[in-house]
A and B are shown apart, each in its own frame.
Chain A
């Protein structure tokens, strides 16, 4: 680092001006001559067999150019190779209210809607499976090709938990429920498909994953990848909700092929709720063993997840539930079981903090209660058992850098924790929680040894530098990071850098904007490419030259000496984790850490919880763009606060109809509800990150929900185990009623023997290392 470049500063957004002026064009803004409007006919039943779909009348209506049903798109797909269980349009069965059945393309929206109304579906209505206990019974199977409604079940044992329970001073057991929530991106999903005269498909889509979309389009449409161009225009946020392939992307392409004209599709807000892929509802039972000094000696985590009608990323979610259980604490004995179940609900998927948020809520609330029982300060208790850099935990998760201790001290100091806690007026409380999250998954979603990210950098004679990468700027700021990294290495002004991203014809492959991987992986790839160019420039300039490295004379000399100044850099994560099944979930090249304190006021008469202030400190390694990191922390706290107190996806009893598919009734917090957020960065220097950086986009959401719940417990002396906490539930409890989560008591599977063996091996190795140190 030169110390004078943009890295580490407070950077303006590289794509800020067009977003502010309105010049930025989102997918739905794009107009193609002759474009038709595509619409989807959706199921009115949560679970039914399709006897027939009558489209004859719709096909003959004026203005209708194409009508498709499941028969036209028979190829199943799914974001994970392990769970290819969905179709663009239902084949044989519908599995939730909103499941797409038919697609039409017509000259305008009114004609398309009229055509939808003219399509009739003959159903054989089947009994719906609407919750986890019903799904567990397997009396009704949602996917009939499967033996049960269990999408995936995982069992892992590390150490001897039963012995830890036997030797503990405190054993604490509690059941938690984390309700489902969804992303609510400002921009609904949209796609625009067009087949060229060269018979190539050009699909523009509001997506986080152009590369995965590219692969799956080829699979479903039966077209070589080389004949498909996926382009991601400006995206108006995603939060995980656009990280796989959606019915409208495939249908737009298929309708355009059938109609011979471009087709534009956009989900309305109700359809965004049905597309969902948001946070899984999870029931969790925790049993923990503690020594009287607060040491956590053992933990048993049991979880049931509700994945809804289709798998989405659900196999990975199942693994994340347990894989992220231990970190950031030393945990010698750990046993976990998780089963992910199909139900007739809109499909869950990855939402900011994917699979880690629910167990983190439960564990942080649980530890808070343990501290209270042991009469210990929750912060001091945690400080004693943090995983330190250089250590690895279960599943081979290696901590390469951590400033968690500093984060905890920072929020304790800023919130006045030690002097103010227990000195607050009645109804006011402080709560603490901390967490960890990955900086990109160490494994792609399909098996590959190829780099996870490739970045091409070229520097022209005119001094303009072009950076190309297949990743997706979705509002999170990745364009700014790519520009800043290259500017830093080459000593360029960021204004001279053009970033081209998310276009499979123009940009080299990157896996996409998910799992908090972009800064880390694309950043490393961009640095790699820029350094190659830097080396060529340096070779053409004597060390004593007064010329800047990117002076026109130096650039010209380098091009004359070695041809065009272009270079590709790439990033492949180091191999991490075990070699047995499921160990692909959780390992990451680096982990971020967060600590938060929340202060709440509880109105004991109305049950209203006001989150007054949240102090958040985040270890993102080195902050490449301080403004961006602080913004991500604030966004995470905002979203966590919404999940803690407001956001819910209630369904109608017996029919599974989502009761609130609108942004009037699905309540995300307004600015008036949002607490004051005091965000700060506590840096570490990660050896594998670009300039030492780690993630910042998801991790800071993890502690917010438990910090708020712990603060409520501090304020009213009652603990709540159900997310979101409604004023209704709060008042019922204060008046002495309990409504605990009912745990479905069914036998859980034995752990995989290979995991036992590996755990024993790790324990021996650790003992040997400790012996060496002594």
Chain B
């Protein structure tokens, strides 16, 4: 398969990039590592007139600690660079776990953290070649007007399948957005728009995600990451689970679970209530039940919806138990 023709834009500063995004709004795609965009372009899912490369923007790469426990990871930093950062590995092992489970080592060498947070939503009926989609007759997200997963659905149910988003949500990460109005920091959770797999991001087409900020973590917080999948590499998650637990000597333990791959956007749940009497099998099961309330995974050609829900429930319990 070959890429459709496009003009490559190579800005040398963020301001220039933003100006180009504004100039070509609607007909431009941003490429960093390209591991998500380029296969989709080859399949004819996107054929923008312009592709804007972030390659020349050095300020979009690098990991910096603030010395106080906080971190700033520039958006186009590769997953491999993050995995190889020893200080980060010491401080935030769950983030490294998640990065290491993206695709394969080859993918990690190119893919970027920002790209993983902005991953296109995926569906068995959408991520296919042009010939295949033509045989299908298109779908809600592309070329058609029906959702093949749920034919009655008025909205697209394609799943947001980022490995790193659940962990970064558990770490209370913020994202730094640049646009014509300047820079601003918003909570990562605000980047996502739940509901529609065709419109899952709150990011204007003329804005750039420039960095991920991870604030200093509460001393007692422990974050764990587990990924459900059929193979131990390559596969996107059937479910991705991050659990964060903050035991407190004087009050109740606080606990959250963040999920991806089971909805069009991440799902987060405060499960502290279920763990008020400590961590035992019953409490874990109650917490998991809370966490998966909003989950609506799709059946795949390999496993059913029921299986994905059950797997989600099991991994929620296990991730929580590991974090305790």
Q: Which residues of A contact B (CB under 8 A)?
A: 42, 44-45, 97, 109-110, 113, 268, 270, 605-607, 646, 648, 650, 652, 655, 657, 659-662, 664-665, 667, 669-670, 672-673, 726-728, 731
Contacts and interface: CB of A to CB of B under 8 A. Distances in A.
Given A646-B230, A673-B232, A270 B132 contact: yes
Contacts of A670: 104, 231-234
B135 A655 contact: yes
A652 B232 CA distance: 26
Contacts of B128: 661-662
Given A657-B135, A673-B232, A113 B302 contact: no
Secondary structure of the B side of the interface? loop
B301 A667 contact: no
Secondary structure of the A side of the interface? loop
Q: Which 10 A-B pairs have the closest CB atoms?
A: A672-B232, A728-B307, A44-B135, A650-B301, A659-B301, A728-B303, A670-B233, A605-B314, A97-B135, A270-B129
Contacts of B204: none
Given A657-B136, A667-B230, A731-B307, 15 more contacts: A42-B131, A268-B1, A268-B129, A270-B132, A606-B228, A606-B315, A648-B301, A662-B128, A664-B127, A667-B302, A670-B234, A672-B231, A673-B231, A728-B306, A731-B310
Nearest to B304: A728
Interface of B: 1-2, 5, 104, 124, 127-129, 131-132, 134-136, 228, 230-235, 301-304, 306-307, 310-311, 314-315
A728 B315 CA distance: 15
B274 to A, nearest CB: 19
Nearest to A44: B135
Contacts, number: 76
A42 B129 CA distance: 13
Contacts of A726: 302-303
A665 B232 contact: no
B303 A727 contact: yes
A45 B124 CA distance: 19
A670 B103 CA distance: 11
Contacts of A731: 307, 310
Contact of A661 (B132, B233, B304): B132
Contact of A650 (B104, B302, B315): B302
Contacts of B136: 652, 655, 657
Contacts of B304: 728
Contacts of A662: 128
23 contacts: A44-B131, A110-B5, A113-B2, A270-B132, A605-B314, A606-B228, A646-B231, A650-B301, A655-B135, A655-B136, A657-B135, A659-B301, A661-B132, A665-B124, A665-B301, A669-B231, A670-B104, A670-B233, A672-B232, A672-B233, A727-B307, A728-B303, A731-B307
Contacts of A646: 230-231
B230 A660 contact: no
Contacts of A97: 135
A680 B235 CA distance: 32
B285 to A, nearest CB: 12
Contacts of B306: 728
A254 B25 CA distance: 47
Among the interface residues B1, B131, B307, which one has the most CB atoms of the partner chain A within 10 A? B131
Nearest to B311: A606
A646 B235 CA distance: 12
A45 B233 contact: no
Nearest to B135: A44
